[in-house]
Structure 1
Amino acid sequence: MIPYTVNIKLAARTLTGTLSLQNKTAVDWGWQGLIAQGCHSSILIIDPKTAQTIQVLERHKANVVKVKWSRENYHHNLSSPYSLRLASADAAGKIIVWDVVSGMAHCEIQEHSKPIQDMDWLWNQDASHDLLLAVHPPNYIVLWNGDTGTKLWKKSYAENILSFSFDPFDPSNLALLTSEGIVFITDFSPSKPPGSSGKKVYIASPHSSPAHSKPASTHPTGAKKALNKVKVLITNEKPMAEAVTLNDCLQLSYLPSKKSHMLLLYPREILILDLELSQTVGVVAIERSGVPFIQVIPCAQRDALYCLHENGCITLRVCRSTAIAAEETGKRFFPFTLSFAPPSPFRPV
């Protein structure tokens, strides 16, 4: 009998242990239902239906800090199929764009040697499906072509940039979370860098604002009780001693369910900002014995928040909004209160 050999290509597998602290922000649930997760310098592609690792991507030399699935929200056919494209960034400043099916790196991008702070694919325009925006420390945003690895433009700002968020209602609006405040950009375009440095605002205590200098009643009720939930204001002037620091802010995100609204996530509370009123209109505080937040995913279909906690619990908090009329500084406006009621936590096995 003549011996013969058969070549079988098997996907690589990695047995995972304790994750690195830098991996905590390296997770993304894609449009196709697959989860990409950073594990030290590797990336695991997990099918949540079977809880099985179906692919392992290994090319990074440093810990993976960010992963982002390409949206792939465009027309496809046999000649131009979906490619399951994923962008990953590590603590050494390298970005790799992957073809997940083949497990091969499509292109590699390197600007600096510091960890990438944030990145995302541009999904709200039809000019190109390959545009990737990244924050390179300390204060640069760079637009890359994720297909060729070409730098399209670069823009620097005065403060250290921590993260960014696009306005889902207007793709020309971009908010940058910095170490001192929030920078609002209103002229974002894929074709050229923003022409201005944006509008910088600070988060200040309401007690330092003339609009909140009136003495509060001992037992506030009704509209006054609702107004007491307004914890901070947005101001154009740098606050002094009573400033609310943004260094502890974990996340900044526009609300896709409500125009001109934004959330700021802190370990033990979520602030809902109304950008037209320039103040907070809701505070979601964690219970005294509750577990601190790590990340929040706002829903687009309704006012609801999926909240991830430090112990792995996921809570769904649904908004109950009520229009309340109030008088303040001679002006009448209608803030609304947000009451979030979490169900029993779901603990993944």
Structure 2
Amino acid sequence: SQPRAMMAAPAASPAARSRGNAAAGGGSATSTMLPGPASRGNGGCIDLSTSGLLAHGAGSSVVVSDPRSMQLVCVLPMPSSSATSPASFVTAVRWAPAASASSLAAAEDAAGAEDDHRPLRLAAGDRHGRVAVWDARARAVLRLLSLDESRSVAPGTSGGVQDLCWIHHASGWLLASIHGPSLLCIWETSNNPRVLWMFDASPEYLSCLRRDPFDDRHLCALGLKGFLLSAVPRHDSDISLKEHRIVCGAGDVAELQRLEKDISAPAPAPALAAFPLFAARLCFSPLWRHILYAVYPRELVVFELNYSIALSVATLPRGFGKFTDVMADTDLDLLYCTHADGKLSIWKRKEGEQVHLLHAVEELMPSIGTVVPPPAVLATTIWQSESIFRNIDKQSQDLAHMQSSQSMIFDTKSHQNMYQGTMTYLTSISEDGKIWSWHLTFDKSVSSKKINLGTSNHSDAGTSNPRSNGLDFTIKINLMGQLHLLSSTVTTLAVPSPSLLATVARGGNNPAPAVPLVALGTQNGTIEVVDVLANAVSVSFAVHSSTVRGLRWLGNSRLVSFSYNQVSDKSGGFNNKLIITCLRSGLNRPFRVLQKPERAAIRALRASSSGRYLLIMFRDAPVEVWAMTKNPIMLRSLALPFTVLEWTLPAAPRPSQNASKQSPTSKGALLTH
């Protein structure tokens, strides 16, 4: 079919590259940043490169990590659109495919083409509609693309970025992007960055872009209403388009119509902002040509592109949260679907048909050791690099078998045994700032009478006979590692007193060891202890049920923090909450527990350098002095007419000084103003 709106666009501003490099800010700053958690505002954007590096959006930054070693690699903050406006949320990330050896050799002779052949190029889009092409190794912006500047329109007219996808062309790799609710753009990102094509699919809401694994030139865009667009760039600076239609279920259609009446964000907001709780995703089959899988909140659809027909539709089983994403195993005929309630459903293709049956269900958010309600799973991806290693191993075994003297007899049971000993790796991201690495193993089932439903109790999820469908294996999922980033917005910070002068909190005059730690209080009530040398969260404590308002160290092994909430009844007042946290044992011990609300809220805490004494300052109330022993004791109350209080540091003893003599301020004194 012919495109409804397709046009070329003028080249981007010549200053796009120089401005992008200037905004990068240098690699030294990004290497010492600790990112905050991802949120629903990031749209679940995640991508795993073939080299094994994970990129995901967290606030206005792109976080790059290594899921094998569970280490943070770097943080790439999106450049600000202006000096006064803050950076916008990252809503799409996509690694550029690795260039072949021949293209790298040809690029050495081409002046200025080296940027397109850097090994770690990463594209990131934000809510302001800008796309930054990063060199993740150098931590520098290679290109900063703005559709508003390319079209010479007012900022924000084109809408935010919904998704990104790299496709191949005779001139190299092009970048496809969805802007706003319905605008599909294809960019040239080399020497002269510009928009090559634009296609307006209005009134559709485009949601997802994916590249065909059998043809790097081919991509498909999926809409929330069942619209499916197939696009292939041609050599004559044109593009071939074909439109399809997936018939959505009545439940999804009715829900989308209801959401359109109460739309969260009007145009030109993208689908993730307009309908944050309604997802439509697709993925190509890596084993079957022209076959793709699409999920809507209540349906899993197998679609054939050549005949433009849905081959099968699987409805959402009872007791499951809505579908949020679908991933295809690169070696096995399995589909992995994520759900809004944190479940992972695994679907097996029925032998001889393009019909998928539910085979197993696992939990991506363990019920033990998590808060209630548990944090949401925002994004999940499958490791493609493991498939490369498996294929190399399989081809090596086939070659050794062909060269052997044994007769070549086809084993009819090879398909049944293909799952034996196979492993798959997944990585998920939760909204509490954690990255989870999962290991799935496939083994022969001991009993083939019932479908294995993992650790979940969903007896109504499937009733088919696994013997007739080849479902003769079980799936086990294990947590391999976890990377803990900041769990929430930081509200307060505390550093230990200088270690050469501070003394052990429980008494004694021996200097305490150096502790390169920083304690952070967060908005969700947790305390994060950060190792500044490793740039990582060492330990996290769930201490308060509300925002941590203040935080102090008591020596080098204990923390004291406070929070409060205002009473809403007629009597009014505040409920102040003070808690001591022991870093060694992890125990939280409240003190100064009162039965009734107080007239004044706690204003600040001030701890002496030794951690023996604590000042509790209130709003328009006397200051309390506490001795921080095993069971804290209030020493006195001081009605001090000061606005600022701070302890002085004890004087460092001199070698010539008698050990029994101490300076007047060694036990702690106050500076006031």
Same-fold call, TM > 0.5?
yes
Q: Which has the higher helix share?
A: 2
* 149 and 345 in structure 1: CA distance in 2 versus 1, 3 angstrom threshold: farther
SS of residue matched to 1:117 = strand
Unaligned runs of 5+ in 2: 1-26, 80-86, 109-113, 149-155, 258-270, 366-435, 437-481, 483-673
Query: In 1, Cα distance between the equivalents of 2:344 and 2:301?
Result: 19
> For residue 595 of structure 2, what is the aligned residue in structure 1?
none
2:351 maps to which of 316, 321, 324: 321
Q: CA deviation at 1:9?
A: 4.6
Query: In 2, Cα distance between the equivalents of 1:276 and 1:195?
Result: 15
2:185 maps to which of 138, 142, 163: 142
1:301 equivalent in alignment to 2:331: yes
* 311 and 149 in structure 1: CA distance in 2 versus 1, 3 angstrom threshold: farther
- Equivalent runs, 1:25-44 vs 2, <5 Å: 25-44=44-63
> For residue 245 of structure 2, what is the aligned residue in structure 1?
201
Query: In 1, Cα distance between the equivalents of 2:310 and 2:299?
Result: 13
Q: CA deviation at 1:133?
A: 1.2
Query: In 2, Cα distance between the equivalents of 1:191 and 1:25?
Result: 36
Query: In 2, Cα distance between the equivalents of 1:64 and 1:242?
Result: 30
8 Å CA contact retained: 1:43, 1:58: yes
> For residue 70 of structure 1, what is the aligned residue in structure 2?
96
Query: In 1, Cα distance between the equivalents of 2:28 and 2:201?
Result: 50
Q: CA deviation at 1:141?
A: 2.2
1:337 equivalent in alignment to 2:355: yes
8 Å CA contact retained: 1:318, 1:342: no
1:271 maps to which of 301, 304, 308: 301
Query: In 1, Cα distance between the equivalents of 2:303 and 2:144?
Result: 37
Query: In 2, Cα distance between the equivalents of 1:342 and 1:31?
Result: 27
Q: CA deviation at 1:36?
A: 0.4
| TM-score normalised according to structure 1 size | 0.71
Q: CA deviation at 1:290?
A: 2.3
Q: CA deviation at 1:37?
A: 1.1
> For residue 189 of structure 1, what is the aligned residue in structure 2?
234
8 Å CA contact retained: 2:347, 2:359: yes
2:165 maps to which of 98, 109, 120: 120
- Equivalent runs, 1:16-165 vs 2, <5 Å: 16-60=35-79, 61-75=87-101, 76=104, 82-112=118-148, 113=156, 114-123=159-168, 125=169, 127-148=170-191, 150-159=193-202, 160=204, 161-165=206-210
Q: CA deviation at 1:158?
A: 4.2
Percent identical:
22
SS of residue matched to 1:339 = strand
Q: Deviations over 1:115-157 (max 9, x none)?
A: 112211114x5x2444211122243322212234611412223
Q: CA deviation at 1:249?
A: 4.8
Q: Which amino acid aligns with 1:194?
A: I
Query: In 1, Cα distance between the equivalents of 2:215 and 2:363?
Result: 34
1:281 maps to which of 311, 315, 324: 311
8 Å CA contact retained: 2:62, 2:78: no
Query: In 2, Cα distance between the equivalents of 1:257 and 1:74?
Result: 23
Q: CA deviation at 1:40?
A: 0.4
* 153 and 107 in structure 1: CA distance in 2 versus 1, 3 angstrom threshold: same
- Equivalent runs, 1:156-175 vs 2, <5 Å: 156-159=199-202, 160=204, 161-170=206-215, 173-175=218-220
1:177 equivalent in alignment to 2:222: yes
* 183 and 57 in structure 1: CA distance in 2 versus 1, 3 angstrom threshold: same
Query: In 2, Cα distance between the equivalents of 1:24 and 1:158?
Result: 21
Unaligned runs of 5+ in 1: 1-7, 207-230, 233-240, 324-335
User: Rg bigger for which structure?
Assistant: 2
RMSD (Å), alpha carbons: 3.5
Query: In 1, Cα distance between the equivalents of 2:67 and 2:224?
Result: 36
**Alignment: residue pair count:** 295
Q: Deviations over 1:308-335 (max 9, x none)?
A: 3335444443323334xxxxxxxxxxxx
* 16 and 158 in structure 1: CA distance in 2 versus 1, 3 angstrom threshold: closer
8 Å CA contact retained: 1:143, 1:190: no
